[in-house]
Amino acid sequence: MRNALRLGPTLAGACLVLIVLLPIHVLATGRVFAIWVVLLTAIALRELIRSFPPDDRKSGFEAALRSRATPAPEPSAFAEVERQLQLGLAFADHAHRTLVPLLRSAAAARLSMRHGIELERQPDAARRLLGEQTWNLVRPDRPAPADGLGPGPREEDVAAVVTRLESL
């Protein structure tokens, strides 16, 4: 009954279209009738689809989307440093362009904050405090590697430099 009440105004509108178009002879009678049949068929199909209860089952696609694990959290700032470290250990050129400047800025910050020494302006004092191994890696005038695709500094050397910087 409810569907019939909803369908009534729609059918009345379709009949009104038929009644208006037939007398004014804008289109041939056969064509007006064909348009009216298509319109009634579309209305009937819409109402038929609406009469079915909604399907609570999810499609395979929706189930796959819902079953996906929550996305991985954004990597932390340490993940970027770790990535730079791994690349710097693998390639001398990457170490020269990214890892060494990162260590150099850490050394400059430690020397400045804890000892009042500027790495580039007071290289002798910085060299004494840092030690030879650390100085050789972070010195401002460190030359670029001859073979950029060769291995970077050894992991043990970098670990010793970081330990030394932490102890300053």
Residue 113 lies in a domain: yes
Rounded to whole angstroms, the Cα distance separating 21 from 43 reads: 19
Q: Tell me the pLDDT band of 150, cut-offs 50, 70 and 90.
A: confident
Judgement on whether residues 92 and 143 belong to the same structural domain of the protein: yes
Residue 5 has pLDDT above 60, yes or no: no
Residue 148 has pLDDT above 70, yes or no: yes
pLDDT recorded at residue 140 = 86
Taking the model in full, what pTM does it have?
0.54
Rounded to whole angstroms, the Cα distance separating 148 from 162 reads: 23
pLDDT recorded at residue 1 = 45
pLDDT recorded at residue 39 = 78
Residue 132 lies in a domain: yes
Alpha helices by DSSP H, listed for 25-99, are 29-51, 60-67, 77-90, 92-94
Judgement on whether residues 95 and 29 belong to the same structural domain of the protein: no
For residues 114 and 43, which has the higher predicted lDDT (pLDDT)? 114
Residue 67 lies in a domain: no
Residue 56 has pLDDT above 80, yes or no: no
pLDDT recorded at residue 26 = 66
pLDDT recorded at residue 7 = 63
Number of domains observed in the structure of the chain: 2
Residue 13: give the domain boundaries: 2-53
Residues 6+ apart with CB under 8 A from 152: 88, 89, 90, 91, 92, 94, 95, 99
Q: Coil, strand, or helix at residue 87?
A: helix
Residue 68 has pLDDT above 70, yes or no: no
pLDDT recorded at residue 99 = 87
Judgement on whether residues 81 and 151 belong to the same structural domain of the protein: yes
For residues 105 and 78, which has the higher predicted lDDT (pLDDT)? 105
Judgement on whether residues 40 and 111 belong to the same structural domain of the protein: no
DSSP annotation of 95 reads I
Judgement on whether residues 49 and 129 belong to the same structural domain of the protein: no
